[in-house]
Amino acid sequence: MTPPEFRTAEARDFDLLTGIWLEAVRASHDFLTAEQIEGYRRRMPTEFLPAVPEIRIAEDETGPLGFIGMDGEAIEMLFVDPASHGRGVGRALIDLVAPGRSRLTVDVNEQNPAAHGFYLHLGFRETGRSATDPDGNPFPMVHLER
């Protein structure tokens, strides 16, 4: 794989990013029902993505591979197309946003052990837990910091 290039997302990218999000969630969030995933999918381009101040896209000659959304030091979202899992895209996105930030924080669904392990592998440590997700659903969240 050639190293990805990076660019800042624009509103015109939101449908594309929602597609990457959808495939990544289908591959990793087996605790969500199809109806829940569809509900979040509808909210991605109109509510979730516009609320994130900084979104960077990783892409190569084949197109977008994944994206990271930042709000200050907080990783609000990091999703990689499942076809690119294990190819260093997630690490490259974190390496892209880390310089100039004294720390990085992220919340991960407890039922997503692959993401949890990914962040631990990159030097994040657990700082706490919440019993529910930001929408108040009974999906425990693990809070991490590096």
Find the helix packing angle between 34-43 and 14-28, rounded to 10°.
Answer: 160
Ordered mean pLDDT values, 10 residues apiece, the chain (146 residues): 89 96 92 91 96 97 96 98 94 97 96 94 97 90 97
Q: Is the pTM of this model over 0.85?
A: yes
**Strand pairing report for 74-80 and 105-109:** parallel
List domains and CATH numbers for the chain: 5-145 (3.40.630.30)
The sign of the dihedral angle between the CA atoms of 48, 50, 56, 58 is positive
pLDDT for 2: 76
